[in-house]
Amino acid sequence: MPSDQRIKLAPLGFFTAALTLFIIHLCWLIASSQGFIDWCNPYWADCVSISKTGRNGIAYFFFKGGIISACVLQGMIWQLCRYWLLSLGTKKGGALPYLGWAAAVALIIYTLSLGHSGDTFRLLRRFGVILYIGLSYICFISVESGLLQSHLKSAGKAMLIYSKGLLAVALFSLVLDAAMGDEYDRIENAFEWWLLGLLNLQLFWLAALWRYNGAHITVASRN
């Protein structure tokens, strides 16, 4: 007889969102306690970049292992989002699996280039993080566009407003960069921390929506 097993998607979403934030803050704590970086508030001026927390000591291994694991999980999230949208009756988000895995690969490139000096690795880090944030943002927009065509339309509208706010923060940072010149270096890292935090907050939101909607996958077997 056939046997079906339902696996809820919400726990995967919550774990994935929490993992990235946990790892970067853990590495900040370890690197600070081991003296590789100065004690400071990463969400304020004159502190360190996210990448610097994982360049030395034990934090180096936690950062690489944790972030690469999060990359794989995020790729799975976007793959599952495609099927979830289909189950909601919308054909939006057809490119989600490709964009999602491309974002994951970009972040892996960024992570693997940490701890290495030289212009090439610096370029890889910059390319990786910009591509990751950009593609992840497009993935969220794709999901939200799909939700607008489903019975979860109100949630899609709210998430879309949030995404626009996130874009406004990113554009504001560029305006400050142009206006402040070298002084912007004092707050550049803080914007990086805030943007990544806000991006992951949206992933928590997606997981909460999965829980509300009862999103799941079914594993079936025939005895």
Average pLDDT over residues 104-131: 86
Taking the C-alpha atoms of residue 169 and residue 198, their distance in angstroms, rounded to an integer, is 10
Q: Would you say residue 1 has pLDDT above 60?
A: no
Spatial distance between the Cα atoms of 132 and 138, rounded to a whole number of angstroms: 10
Residue 218 lies in a domain: no
Q: Does residue 125 lie in a domain region?
A: yes
Q: How many domains does the chain have?
A: 1
pLDDT tens digits, 40-58: 999 999 999 898 898 889 9
| pLDDT band with cut points at 50, 70 and 90 for residue 123 | confident
Domain membership flag for residue 221: no
38 has pLDDT over 70: yes
- Answer whether residue 147 shows pLDDT above 70: yes
Reported as a single tens digit per residue, the pLDDT across 149-179 is 999 999 999 999 999 999 998 899 889 888 9
Residue 139 falls inside a structural domain: yes
In a domain, 81, yes or no: yes
Residue 62: what pLDDT? 95
Lowest mean pLDDT among 28-32, 95-99, 121-125, 192-196: 121-125
With a pLDDT cut of 70, the percent of the chain lying above it is 97
pLDDT at 223: 62
CB 135 within 8 A of CB 102: yes
Q: 112: domain range?
A: 8-212
Long-range contacts, 220-223 (Cβ 8 Å, 24+): 220/2, 220/3, 220/4, 220/5, 221/2, 221/3, 222/1, 222/2, 222/3, 223/1, 223/2, 223/3
> Is the predicted pLDDT of residue 140 greater than 80, yes or no?
yes
Assess if residue 68 is contained within a domain. yes
In this structure, is residue 173 part of a structural domain? Answer: yes
Cβ-based neighbours of 134, under 8 Å, separated by 6 or more: none
- In tens, the pLDDT along 70-93 reads 999 999 999 999 999 999 998 888
Residue 165: inside a domain? yes
Q: Residue 26 in contact with residue 57, Cβ under 8 Å?
A: no
CA distances from 104 to 73, 75, 130, 191, 209 (A): 9, 6, 12, 21, 22
- The pLDDT value recorded for residue 184 is 86
Average pLDDT of the segment spanning 197-221: 91
Residue 201 identity = L
Q: Report d(CA 171, CA 168) in Å as an integer.
A: 5
Which residues are CB-neighbours of 223 under 8 A, at least 6 positions away? 1, 2, 3
Average pLDDT over every residue of 213-218 = 90
